[in-house]
Structures are given as structure tokens and as C-alpha cells.
């Protein structure tokens, strides 16, 4: 994308100024023409009123009817000229001979201009012509006696210089207003451009377009579903992953523009908008799809302007967790077995150096028998390979820590019908065994017994240790998140046990006596794939 030639501020300023200037210039032309015509019309009306007043004056009619009474005509015309502020008032007879004139020397001479012929024929009119006083706007009015006979005419003139002066004065005002308007428009354009630039965080349109493209590409490329709503709970954004999950849940329409509560009843984004509190790592059921959801409010200038929910199908997360758990357990088992094997090799090496060959043979036979017995027992009794591998790893780990871990089961434990529950079982059993190993760490007798029984689709397992036991108050607090007697950043194991049991509808019993050890008994619904062979 090529960079623009002009910046946003320069573009807005130039275009706004151009529009303002063009508008004002066109307005100036239109107004100037209208004002000029209006001034000419008003001056013509002024001259017409003066000429009609003179033409209807008894003194003028009498003077033109009886030439002997012309003495007062000049004085009367001068008074009217002075009062009306016109250039001249000329009274003429039917031959066009002046009976009054601003210059007394012109009285008795013929009217000059050639535009008086129409009025001498009885027609009132206005014209522009040049006379002895220069160019003027003239209004002609015929004079009639009492019998309706025309006896002369009156001409009232206004200098065109005065008309032009009036037009120029009006133009000056228009020009001043135009210049002021242009300057105001330029200032407004600059202020507007700066304001828009500040709103856009100083970004140019090209940069905004690029950011929008990058944002859209990122939102559509992530595997998590993303839904954003505005402060009115109306959906403004749904990415591709979210649409796929919504379609998986049976919602085929694109929900953009709709209310979130009308589209996804269990979204709880409206609550986040009201409280302003984020809700993290929560489960949400959308028909047959279980999602792991994070909901966070969006703040701008400390005001909530919307909320965003990111979510993912929990089945995928569970599968990843199971894979990670399997790898971790396998690694722990290998590490424990490797450490145990190295210890045994050291013993064998010592016995070789000491030449205790008979005892060495007996020792190796015991190792092989014990290993064969452990693996054979686990393989016969535990049909779930993940759970079996986990327990074998725990046996090696216990020996490494110097504790004795005994696993017993009267009845075989079949493979689970739903593989995802194995992960929950491993979390429960693993945390109880780890807790027992920590409990016997400082005890003289370091023995942990794990008893598994399966009957009538109920799994019962008991974890018993010979540790220091717990007080009644401690038993009431051990399942609280963060509670631990081992120091900071602990206290999560038994809290996870409680969460997983609640999810699986299981039960747990505790029996503990201070100084004599602790026993945990867990009951969990357990549906198998079929009869054990």
C-alpha cells in the first residue's frame, strides 16, 4: 500500500478551506449582483417618487399651464432637490424646454440626453443617460392639468457616481464578510484536522487501514473463539473460530448486530458489563458443547465501553491436558526408574568389588522378582493403560523417596467408558498419594497403602499413610485453596481433589488421628467399557 502524498491534517485543511472559499466566492458573486440591482432599483424608486411628487404639485401644473407663473418654479424645484438629495430636478414644457435646473444658466434651454421623448408623449419611465451634469439615472413623469391635458414633464436625476459608490460600499462589506468567513473557515479546518488527528492517536488513514487489516487477520487466525460486545450488549465482532463453535452448538446465523443475551443466553457478558469484573477460566455449556471461557470488560478513559469473551472447546483442552499429563507421567516414571536403577547398579558394583557373588545372585533375583510382581499385578488389576502407567511410576517414585507404597486391589478395574475421566482420576489419586508421601517424610515408618475396589459401577479407593496425622481444625481447612503447612505457593493439590470430585459427583471421607496417620476414602461413579476378560 503506497503512502499518501498528503497527511490527514493537510488533506482536511485544504479541502475544508477550498469548500469554504468556493462557497463564499459564489455567494459573493450572487449577493453582489443582487445588491447592485437592489441599489439601482431603490435609487430609481427614489427618483420616481420625487418626480411624481413634482408632477402632481399644483405649483408645477400652474407654472406649466400659465408661463407667467414660472417665477416660483425654480425655487420650488431647488427645495425638492435639496430635500430628496437628488442630483437634479428639471421641469420642462412640451417642447423639452427647461423651466428649472440646478444651473440657472441652463433654464430656457432644451433638455439634453435624448431620453425625454417618451415622457413628452405621456409615458412615465426610467433611463440612464448623459446630460449636462454627467451620467445619471433619470426618472421621467408627465405633468397633466386639471383637464387631463399634458402640459409638460418632470425629470429627476441621481448621479451614477453616487449609485456606484453605494454599490461599492455594499461590496466592501461583502468582501470583508467573505475574508472573515475564509479566515474563520481556515481556522476551523485546522482545529478540526488537529482534533480528528488527536482522536485517531496521530495515525494517518493508511496506517489505520493497515492496522485494521492486521487486526482482522490476527482475530481470524487465532484458534480461540472471540466475541466482543459494546456497552449496549450488542455483538460487534465474532471471529471465524467463534462462528465454527457456535455452528457446532447449532447456531447457524451470524450474530453480529444482535443482543448477546438473545443469541447466547448463558454468555454472562452483560453481567461483566454491569460489574466491570473479569471472569476467568470458567466453564460454559452451549447446548452439547462445553466451553472454557474468559470474559473481560473493556475500559476507555476508566469507562466500560464493552466486553470481550474468548473461549475454546474444553474437549480439545482436555485432550491436550491428557497428552501433557501422559508425557509428564512417563517422564516422571522414567526418571524415578532411572534413579532407582542407578542405585541398584551401585549396589551391584559394590558387591562385585567385594566378591559377594552368591549374595549378588540372590539380590538380582529379588530385584527381578519384585519388578515382575509389581508390573504383573498392575497389568492384571488395572486395565486402563494410562492409569496403570501412572501407578507404576508412583511405585518407583515412592521407592526413590525411601517410602513403601503398597497397591492392592481385590477386583480388576476395567477400562473407563469415557476416556476423559481418566485425567480426573489421575489428578485425584496422584494428589492423594503425593500428599501421603509428604506426610510420611519425617516419620519413622514410611508406609502408604492404596486399596482399589470396583463394584456396581462405583470405584472405591483408599489412601492410608503412617504420617503424623491431622487435627480436626486442619481437616476442616485442607481443601481450601492455598492452605498448606509446607510453606508459600502450596495448598493446591487437595483443592484440585475437591474440585474434581464435585465434577464427577464423587464423595470423600477423612479419618485422621494425630500421631497415628491419615486415611482418605474416595467413592466415584465408574462406568466401564464392558466386562473384564
* Residue 523: predicted pLDDT: 92
CA 93 and chain centroid, separation = 88
Q: How confident is the model at residue 532, as a pLDDT?
A: 45
pLDDT for residue 351? 73
- pLDDT per residue as tens digits for the range 459-471: 898 999 988 888 8
- Mean pLDDT (whole number) for 302-326: 70
- How far apart CA 343 and CA 421 sit, in angstroms, is 36
Answer yes or no: is pLDDT of 403 > 70: yes
CA 427, chain centre distance (Å) = 41
Mean pLDDT of 336-357: 70
pLDDT of 453 higher than 80 = yes
How far is the C-alpha of 294 from the C-alpha of 451, rounded, in Å? 39
Q: Using an 8 Å Cβ cutoff, are 46 and 38 in contact? A: no
Average pLDDT over residues 86-107: 84
CA distance 502 to 150: 122
The pLDDT of 377-381, averaged and rounded, is 76
Task: Return the half-sphere exposure (C-beta side, CA atoms, 13 A cut-off) of residue 414.
Answer: 17
C-alpha cell at 401: 523417596
* Domains along the chain with CATH numbers: 11-166 (3.30.450.20), 219-313 (3.30.450.20), 356-525 (3.30.565.10)
User: How many distinct helices (H) and strands (E) make up the chain?
Assistant: 15, 14
The per-residue pLDDT for 491 is 57
Would you say residue 533 has pLDDT above 50?
A: no
Q: Report the phi/psi class of residue 518: left, alpha or beta, with left for phi > 0 and alpha for psi in -120 to 50.
A: beta
Q: Give the cell for residue 154.
A: 418632470
pLDDT of residue 373: 63
Q: Positive or negative CA dihedral for 24, 28, 30, 35?
A: positive
CA distance 446 to 438: 10
Percentage of the chain modeled with pLDDT above 90: 2
3-class DSSP string for 343-360: HHHHHHHHHHHCCCHHHH
Pairwise pLDDT comparison (238 vs 1), residue with the higher score: 238
Report pLDDT for 210. 76
Q: What is the pLDDT of residues 81-94, one digit of tens each?
A: 888 888 888 888 88
What is the greatest pairwise CA distance in the chain?
178
C-alpha cell read off for 516: 497415628
Instruction: Indicate the angle between helix axes 8-55 and 160-199, nearest 10 degrees.
Output: 160
Average pLDDT of every residue of the chain: 77
Instruction: For 288-303, write each residue's pLDDT tens digit.
Output: 677 778 888 888 878 8
DSSP state of 234: B
Measuring CA to CA, which residue among 329, 462, 327 is closest to residue 407?
462
Higher pLDDT, 402 or 219: 402
Res. 334: pLDDT tops 50:
yes
Q: What is the number of residues in the chain? A: 533
Higher pLDDT, 510 or 346: 510
Residue listed under C-alpha cell 488513514: 205
How does residue 521 score in pLDDT terms, banded at 50, 70 and 90?
Answer: very high
Can you tell me the mean pLDDT for 195-201? 75
3-class state of residue 351 by DSSP: helix
Cβ distance 226 to 309 under 8 Å? yes
SS3 content of the chain, % helix, strand, coil (to 5): 50, 25, 25
Residue 112 sits at φ, ψ, to 5 deg, of: -110, 140
CB of 291 closer than 8 Å to CB of 283: yes
* Radius of gyration of the chain from its Cα atoms, rounded to whole angstroms: 55
Dihedrals φ, ψ of 521, to 5°? -120, 125
> In DSSP terms, which residues pair with 154 in a beta bridge?
91, 141
pLDDT at 372: 60
Q: Are 229 and 273 in contact (CB under 8 A)?
A: yes
Burial, 119: exposed, middle or buried (Cβ in 10 Å; 0-12, 13-18, 19+)?
buried
- Check pLDDT > 70 for residue 330: no
Cβ neighbours for 170, distance < 8 A, ≥ 6 positions apart: 32, 35, 36, 39
SS3 93: strand
- The answer to whether 527 and 517 have CB atoms below 8 angstroms apart is no
Evaluate if residue 249 carries a pLDDT over 60.
yes
Which one has a higher pLDDT value, 315 or 55? 55
Closest CA to 13 of 197, 175, 179: 197
Segment among 55-69, 338-352, 503-517, 518-532 with least mean pLDDT: 338-352
Q: Report the pLDDT averaged over residues 10-23.
A: 76
Task: Count other C-beta atoms under 10 Å from residue 432's C-beta.
Answer: 23
Supply the DSSP string of 30-57, one letter for each residue: HHHHHHHHHHHHHHHHHHHHHHHHHHT-
Cα–Cα distance for residue pair 199/497, rounded to 1 Å: 52
Contact 402, 443 (CB under 8 A): no
Q: What is the rounded CA–CA span in Å between residue 206 and residue 208? A: 5
Q: Between 345 and 107, name the one with better pLDDT.
A: 107
User: In Å, how far are 244, 249, 253 from 234, measured between CA atoms?
Assistant: 20, 20, 15
Helices (H), 58-204: 58-65, 71-84, 117-120, 160-199
DSSP 201: T
Q: What pLDDT was estimated at residue 485?
A: 62
Distance CA 248, CA 116 (A): 99
What is the pLDDT, as a whole number, of residue 489?
A: 46
Q: How far apart are CA 480 and CA 239, in angstroms?
A: 38
At 322, the pLDDT band (50, 70, 90 cuts) reads low
Q: Mean pLDDT throughout 23-30?
A: 74
Out of 169-178, 179-188, 217-226, give the one with best mean pLDDT: 179-188
Amino acid at each position: 500500500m503506497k503512502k499518501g502524498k498528503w497527511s490527514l491534517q493537510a488533506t482536511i485543511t485544504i479541502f475544508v478551506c477550498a469548500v469554504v472559499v468556493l462557497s463564499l466566492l459564489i455567494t459573493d458573486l450572487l449577493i453582489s449582483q443582487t445588491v447592485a440591482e437592489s441599489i439601482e432599483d431603490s435609487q430609481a424608486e427614489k427618483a420616481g417618487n420625487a418626480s411624481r411628487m413634482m408632477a402632481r404639485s399644483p405649483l408645477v401644473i400652474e407654472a406649466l399651464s400659465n408661463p407667467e407663473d414660472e417665477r416660483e418654479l425654480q425655487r420650488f424645484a431647488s427645495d425638492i432637490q435639496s430635500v430628496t438629495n437628488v442630483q437634479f430636478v428639471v421641469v420642462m414644457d412640451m417642447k423639452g424646454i427647461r423651466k428649472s435646473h440646478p444651473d440657472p444658466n441652463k433654464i430656457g434651454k432644451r433638455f439634453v440626453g435624448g431620453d425625454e421623448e417618451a415622457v413628452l408623449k405621456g409615458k412615465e419611465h426610467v433611463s440612464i443617460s448623459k446630460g449636462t451634469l454627467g451620467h445619471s439615472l433619470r426618472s421621467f413623469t408627465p405633468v397633466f392639468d386639471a383637464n387631463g391635458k399634458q402640459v409638460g414633464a418632470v425629470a429627476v436625476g441621481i448621479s451614477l457616481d453616487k449609485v456606484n459608490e453605494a454599490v461599492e460600499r455594499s461590496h466592501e462589506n461583502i468582501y470583508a464578510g467573505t475574508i472573515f468567513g475564509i479566515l474563520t473557515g481556515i481556522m476551523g479546518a485546522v482545529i478540526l484536522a488537529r482534533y480528528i488527528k488527536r482522536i485517531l492517536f496521530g495515525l494517518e488513514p493508511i496506517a489505520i487501514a493497515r492496522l485494521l487489516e492486521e487486526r482482522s487477520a490476527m482475530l481470524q487466525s487465532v484458534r480461540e473463539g472471540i466475541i466482543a460486545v459494546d456497552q449496549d450488549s450488542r455483538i460487534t465482532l465474532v471471529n471465524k473460530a467463534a462462528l465454527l463453535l457456535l455452528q457446532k452448538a447449532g447456531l447457524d446465523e451470524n450474530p453480529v448486530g444482535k443482543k448477546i443475551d438473545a443469541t447466547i443466553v448463558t454468555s454472562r457478558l452483560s453481567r461483566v458489563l454491569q460489574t466491570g469484573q473479569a471472569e476467568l477460566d470458567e466453564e460454559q455449556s452451549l447446548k452439547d458443547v462445553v466451553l472454557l471461557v474468559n470474559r473481560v470488560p473493556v475500559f476507555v478513559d476508566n469507562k466500560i465501553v464493552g466486553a470481550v469473551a474468548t473461549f475454546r472447546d474444553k474437549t480439545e483442552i482436555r485432550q491436550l491436558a491428557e497428552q501433557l499429563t501422559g508425557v509428564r507421567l512417563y517422564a516422571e516414571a522414567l526418571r524415578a526408574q532411572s534413579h532407582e536403577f542407578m542405585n541398584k547398579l551401585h549396589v551391584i558394583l559394590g558387591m562385585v568389588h567385594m566378591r559377594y557373588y552368591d549374595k549378588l545372585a540372590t539380590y538380582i533375583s529379588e530385584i527381578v522378582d519384585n519388578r515382575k510382581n509389581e508390573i504383573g499385578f498392575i497389568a492384571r488389576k488395572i486395565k486402563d493403560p494410562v492409569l496403570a502407567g501412572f501407578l507404576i511410576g508412583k511405585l518407583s517414585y515412592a521407592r526413590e523417596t525411601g517410602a513403601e507404597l503398597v497397591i492392592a486391589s481385590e477386583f480388576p478395574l476395567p477400562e473407563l467408558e469415557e476416556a476423559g475421566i481418566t485425567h480426573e482420576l489421575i489428578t485425584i489419586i496422584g494428589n492423594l498419594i503425593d500428599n501421603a508421601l509428604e506426610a510420611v517424610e519425617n516419620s519413622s515408618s514410611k508406609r502408604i497403602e492404596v486399596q482399589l475396589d470396583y463394584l456396581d459401577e462405583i470405584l472405591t479407593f483408599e489412601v492410608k499413610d503412617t504420617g503424623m496425622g491431622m487435627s480436626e481444625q486442619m481437616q476442616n481447612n485442607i481443601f481450601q485453596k492455598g492452605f498448606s503447612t509446607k510453606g508459600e505457593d502450596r495448598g493446591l493439590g487437595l483443592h484440585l481433589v475437591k474440585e474434581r470430585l464435585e465434577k464427577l459427583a464423587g464423595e470423600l471421607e477423612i479419618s485422621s488421628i494425630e500421631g497415628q496417620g491419615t486415611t482418605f476414602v474416595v467413592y466415584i461413579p465408574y462406568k466401564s467399557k464392558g466386562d473384564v476378560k
